[in-house]
């Protein structure tokens, strides 16, 4: 009688946890044979990872980062307070980009290239993949419990995305490291050739971001890919294999201007931020309490109503338009607020408060002075303003009033492809640092590609005393005949 060996069945658990507002992906990887689990690239509000692990019979025992992030506060510092968790961080950042926040009592292991650690019977192998950042690691996942001796997947962080690769310019454009851009692009190309291409075609690519992230310019909207698919159809990866100079030009051109908060994120993720033990509470305020606080220095009213047209119609004087819609809240807050601002929140209703505070907390804002609904404030007679607006169906750039200026708040690459003659370009994500370039004695007609970004920028300028008119809709019709 022939005996057939029992088939070995994988007991690996893998789940992507996706943040739509930041287009950011974390990964929970668990060994169901031992009940241990790892989180890679968690955001700051870590309670949801604990819940997901517990719901699947797992205990988080390890946390790893692919790199020092620029677009959100890492949850590693919050996880470090848990005595059951060991952190795995890169040791390869050199003098400038090595972690400084872990103390002598932090349970942390600094990984070298090709070094492995285990989560139960799952091997996690670090692959040094610099270019996006010097210290960047990718993680090959090998399911020994399922009988594998090759990776089933590689968590690529900001090294490789679906249809794109990580941008190598952020050390310079966001963190202010002069001269880093072109050398980083060449390092990225070498990493692609030496670290990605040799992996087997069947290996899944689990990226750190999807479409909408400012960490790339052409990210795909599907959650994962494979090495083989990217090798065949990722245009920038193919360019890296055939044309070194063309790759450098392509990867450095047309990247969107990052929000100003990116620089702060790089530093707090390297050097540390206040550990809060969760998203701080935000108290409901009466209209009188709200009005009293709104007059204090360092307090900023943030209007998060999802419908930005409601803000145009009526809003608390001096407030910032930051709708809880897509990425608008995080991009507005990250571009226009400062780290020391205490936030008064205007919300549609209490049911969205948790979403609002979590999104703000994930990008480093944790001083919540209180909240109220707009209807409560309006009924109590608070000072209410309107945002003057028009649209391109009713507005001709050639006919705007004498002395007025056109302000184009799209990305520079969009502006270069076509714009209205005479328009000044300042991307809305950089407006706070460049506001001194805009004389305050002129009227500004503010436009973008739809009105969304222009609304955020207009609210910021209006709160600082500028005379602004928001122009809704697309100006593209004027590009055809009136391009500078």
Please report which confidence band the pLDDT of residue 484 belongs to, taking 50, 70 and 90 as the band edges.
very low
HSE-up of residue 378 (Cα within 13 Å, Cβ side): 13
Question: So what CATH class is 287-385?
Answer: alpha beta
pLDDT given for residue 400 in this prediction = 65
CATH of domain 12-271: 3.60.15.10
β-pairing, 24-31 with 36-40? antiparallel
CA-based nearest residue to 154, from 226, 206, 115, 220: 206
Domain ranges across the chain: 12-271, 287-385, 389-479
* Most confidently modeled range among 13-22, 251-260, 391-400: 13-22
Percent of all residues in the chain with a pLDDT value above 70, rounded to a whole number? 96
Give the separation between CA 363 and CA 317, rounded to whole angstroms.
25
Residue with tokens 């139960």: 120
Q: DSSP string of 222-270?
A: SS-EEHHHHHHH-HHHHHHHH-HHHHHHHHHSSPPPPPTHHHHHHHHHH
Please report which confidence band the pLDDT of residue 5 belongs to, taking 50, 70 and 90 as the band edges.
very low
The answer on pLDDT for 466 being more than 70 is: yes
pLDDT given for residue 432 in this prediction = 97
CA-based nearest residue to 165, from 125, 209, 212: 209
Give the separation between CA 163 and CA 298, rounded to whole angstroms.
42
DSSP state of 286: -
pLDDT digits (tens, 9 = 90+) for 120-168: 999 999 999 999 999 999 999 999 999 999 999 999 999 999 999 999 9
Give the separation between CA 238 and CA 260, rounded to whole angstroms.
32
pLDDT digits (tens, 9 = 90+) for 74-125: 999 999 999 999 999 999 999 999 999 999 999 999 999 999 999 999 999 9
Please report which confidence band the pLDDT of residue 6 belongs to, taking 50, 70 and 90 as the band edges.
very low
Question: So what CATH class is 389-479?
Answer: alpha beta
pTM for the model? 0.94
Partner residues linked to 157 by β-bridges: 207
- Examine domains 287-385 and 389-479 and report if their fold is the same: yes
């Amino acid at each position: 009688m022939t005996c057939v060996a029992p088939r070995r069945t994988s007991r690996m658990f893998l789940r992507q946890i996706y943040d739509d507002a930041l287009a950011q992906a974390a990964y929970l990887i668990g060994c169901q044979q031992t009940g241990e689990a790892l989180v890679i690239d968690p955001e700051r509000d870590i309670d949801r990872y604990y819940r997901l692990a517990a719901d699947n019979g797992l205990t988080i025992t390890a946390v790893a980062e692919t790199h020092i992030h620029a677009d959100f506060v890492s949850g590693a510092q919050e996880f470090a307070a848990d005595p059951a968790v060991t952190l795995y961080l890169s040791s390869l950042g050199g003098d400038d980009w090595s972690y400084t926040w872990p103390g002598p009592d932090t349970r942390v292991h600094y990984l070298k290239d090709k070094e492995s650690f285990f989560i139960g019977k799952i091997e996690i192998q670090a692959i040094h993949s610099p270019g996006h950042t010097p210290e960047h690691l990718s993680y090959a996942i090998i399911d020994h419990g399922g009988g594998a001796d090759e990776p089933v997947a590689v968590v690529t962080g900001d090294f490789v995305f679906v249809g794109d690769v990580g941008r190598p310019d952020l050390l310079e454009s966001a963190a202010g490291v002069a001269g880093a851009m072109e050398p980083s692009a060449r390092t990225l190309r070498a990493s692609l050739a030496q670290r990605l291409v040799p992996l087997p075609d069947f290996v899944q690519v689990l990226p750190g971001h999807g479409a909408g992230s400012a960490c790339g310019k052409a990210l795909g909207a599907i959650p994962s890919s494979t090495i083989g698919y990217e090798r065949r159809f990722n245009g920038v990866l193919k360019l890296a294999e055939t044309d070194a100079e063309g790759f450098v030009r392509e990867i450095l051109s047309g990247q969107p201007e990052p929000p100003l908060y990116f620089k702060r994120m790089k530093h707090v993720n390297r050097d540390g931020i206040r550990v809060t033990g969760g998203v701080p509470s935000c108290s409901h305020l009466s209209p009188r309490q709200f009005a009293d606080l709104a007059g204090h220095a360092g307090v900023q009213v943030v209007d998060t109503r999802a419908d930005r047209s409601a803000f145009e119609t009526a809003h608390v004087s001096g407030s910032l338009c930051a709708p809880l819609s897509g990425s608008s809240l995080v991009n507005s807050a990250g571009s226009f607020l400062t780290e020391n601002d205490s936030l008064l929140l205007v919300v549609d209703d209490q049911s969205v408060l948790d979403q609002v505070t979590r999104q703000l907390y994930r990008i480093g804002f944790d001083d919540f002075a209180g909240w109220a609904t707009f209807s409560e404030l309006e009924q109590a007679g608070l000072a209410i303003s309107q945002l003057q607006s028009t649209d391109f169906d009713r507005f001709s750039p050639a006919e705007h009033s004498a002395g007025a200026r056109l302000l184009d708040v799209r990305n520079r690459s969009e502006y270069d492809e076509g714009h209205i003659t005479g328009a000044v370009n300042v991307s809305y994500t950089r407006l706070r640092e460049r506001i001194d370039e805009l004389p305050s004695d002129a009227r500004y007609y503010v436009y973008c590609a739809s009105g969304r970004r222009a609304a955020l920028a207009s609210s910021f300028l209006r709160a600082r005393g500028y005379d602004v008119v928001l122009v809704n809709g697309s100006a593209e019709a004027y590009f055809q005949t009136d391009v500078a």
